Structures are given as structure tokens and as C-alpha cells.
């Protein structure tokens, strides 16, 4: 579903192309050491699964990490790594991402982990990978084993099948954001480093973690947590210890 779809185009007009007022929005930007410490401390104390994602420029050891998204399913926080730098990790982000007690729920963390370790000496640990679950779900329900892994957009569409309104809302946010940073659409990844961060990118970043916890809960039957975490750990180990950055066409090949 794209923004050219009449349903999505109409919704875009209603939402103002997904550039929303954020005063009362559940997405909060964390750009002080105190704010990061408070939120990560709460998440560590709660011990419940946390959805994670990351944005940046050429996101791997050869690039730059600009934003870290965290969500407990009700609220979403965007840690401003561009503004805070290493302070964000010392304030609690590293402790959360490396915690064995808190399950992180992400989508293909290989490039993210490569950037986190080589750029910020932080090892992404105890991760449930929804990309693995998405592929396992297809194997079980459709009897088809692809040679390539699923992208987040494809997995979201599969999860939201039948919920056209929610799918359309997310498509608006996705298309508006991509027009700002995707080079093939006339954008530039450098926008992730611009401050203040645009409302459209804030909404896009929040959108990326919005469904991860729900998807894990729905698809855990196809990819049990213990097995998934073990596969994810090995994928991340290979990415981090590889001789080259975790990027390129080979990343699309199924490796599990």
C-alpha cells in the first residue's frame, strides 16, 4: 500500500501528511542525560520486553547512529544519539541494550549491532528477532520457504492484513518519512542528523517500533523465544565479528 492509493491519499490529507502535533503524542524525544537515565532505569526495573530500533546514516560500523527507538508497547521514546553522543550510552542505554534480563524485540539487528559495537562499544544482547518469526510464520502457514528474508514493511503488511485502516495509517507515515531520507525518492539519510528533528521523522521512527511487541506475541508460536534468541545471537555475532561491515545484498539472503 503506497501513498498513491486513494485510501492512503485521503488519509494523508486528514493527517497533514503525517506531520502531527506532538505535544500530546505518546512519542517522546530524549535529548538530555537525565531523561535517558530516567527512562532506561524504568525499563530496566520493569524487566518486561522492550521494542528497539535504530536510525542513522549507512547504519553499520562504516556509518553513523543518530537515533535509538525504545517502546514498551504503550509509550515510545527516541534517544537522540546525535545530540548526546556517548553520554546516551553511559546514562543507561548501554545497560539496557546489554541486559540479559530485559528481552529486546527488534527486526534484523545485524546492521544495528554492527554499528552499536564498533561505534559505541555496546553489544546488543538478548534479542528476539521479528524478522526470523516472520519467515517462520510464512514457512508454517503458507508452506513456502523463500531464499531471502522479509523486510519490515512486508512483515507489517502481513501482520496487519485485514486491518485496512491501521495499515493505511502506517503507510502514510512510512511514505512521508521515506520521501525525506530515501535517496531514490529524492531524500538524504543526512536528515537523521538534522536538529531539530522533523515531526515527520519523529512519527516515522515511532512507527518502526509500534508493532514489534504485538508481532512477537502473535508469531511466538512459530518462533519460540528461546530458539529465536539463540538464532538472533548467532546472526549478531557473525555481523559484529565479520571482516566487513554488515551491509550489502548478501544481507537479504536467509541465513537461518
Average pLDDT, the chain: 91
What are the pLDDT digits (tens) for 139-153? 999 988 889 999 999
Give the model's pLDDT for residue 14.
Answer: 38
Query: Residue 90 pLDDT > 90, yes or no?
Result: yes
Q: Which string of DSSP letters, residue by residue, matches 47-89? A: ---EEEEEEEES-STTSEEEEEEEE-SS-EEEEEHHHHTHHHI
Listed by start position, the domains of the chain span 6-239
What are the pLDDT digits (tens) for 50-74? 999 999 999 999 999 999 999 999 9
Secondary structure of residue 131 in the 3-state scheme: helix
Q: How far is CA 1 from CA 57, 67, 139, 157, 245, in A?
A: 26, 26, 23, 8, 32
CATH label, 6-239, candidates 3.20.20.80, 3.30.365.10, 3.30.420.10, 2.40.10.10: 3.30.420.10
Q: Is 70 exposed, middle or buried (0-12, 13-18, 19+ CB in 10 A)?
A: buried
What are the pLDDT digits (tens) for 213-250? 999 999 999 999 999 999 999 999 999 999 999 999 99
pLDDT class for 20, splitting at 50, 70, 90? very low
pLDDT class for 25, splitting at 50, 70, 90? low
C-alpha cell at 184: 531514490
Of 237, 224, 173, nearest to 18 (Cα)?
173
Q: How far is CA 85 from CA 7, 36, 121, 193, 214, in A?
A: 40, 12, 12, 12, 30
CB neighbour list of residue 226: distance below 8 Å, 6 or more residues apart: none
Give the model's pLDDT for residue 3.
Answer: 37
Of 147, 201, 158, nearest to 179 (Cα)?
201
CA–CA dist 70, 27 (Å, integer): 10
Which secondary-structure segment (H or E) carries 135? helix 130-142
30-49 per-residue burial string, b: 16 or more CB within 10 A, e: under 16: bbeeebbbebbeebeeeeeb
The DSSP secondary-structure symbol of 90 reads I
Amino acid at each position: 500500500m503506497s501513498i498513491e492509493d486513494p485510501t492512503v491519499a485521503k488519509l494523508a490529507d486528514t493527517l497533514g501528511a503525517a506531520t502531527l502535533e506532538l505535544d500530546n503524542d505518546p512519542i517522546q524525544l530524549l535529548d538530555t542525560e537525565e531523561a535517558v537515565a530516567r527512562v532506561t532505569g524504568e525499563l530496566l526495573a520493569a524487566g518486561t520486553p522492550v521494542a528497539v530500533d535504530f536510525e542513522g546514516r549507512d547504519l553499520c560500523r562504516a556509518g553513523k547512529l543518530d537515533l535509538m527507538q525504545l517502546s514498551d508497547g504503550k509509550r515510545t521514546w527516541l534517544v537522540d544519539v546525535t545530540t548526546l553522543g556517548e553520554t546516551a550510552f553511559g546514562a543507561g542505554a548501554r545497560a539496557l541494550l546489554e541486559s540479559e534480563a530485559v528481552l529486546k524485540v527488534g527486526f534484523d539487528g545485524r546492521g544495528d549491532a554492527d554499528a552499536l559495537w564498533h561505534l559505541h562499544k555496546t553489544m546488543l544482547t538478548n534479542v528476539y528477532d521479528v524478522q526470523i518469526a516472520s519467515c517462520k510464520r510464512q514457512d508454517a502457514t503458507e508452506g513456502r520457504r523463500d531464499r531471502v528474508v522479509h523486510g519490515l514493511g512486508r512483515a507489517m503488511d502481513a501482520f496487519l492484513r485485514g486491518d485496512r485502516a491501521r495499515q493505511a495509517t502506517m503507510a502514510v507515515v512510512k511514505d512521508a518519512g521515506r520521501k525525506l531520507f530515501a535517496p531514490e525518492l529524492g531524500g538524504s539519510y543526512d536528515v537523521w542528523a538534522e536538529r531539530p528533528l522533523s515531526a515527520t521523522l519523529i512519527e516515522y521512527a515511532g512507527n518502526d517500533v509500534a508493532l514489534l511487541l504485538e508481532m512477537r506475541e502473535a508469531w511466538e508460536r512459530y518462533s519460540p523465544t528461546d530458539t529465536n534468541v539463540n538464532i538472533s545471537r548467532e546472526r549478531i555475532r557473525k555481523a559484529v565479528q565479520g571482516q566487513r561491515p554488515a551491509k550489502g545484498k548478501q544481507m537479504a539472503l536467509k541465513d537461518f
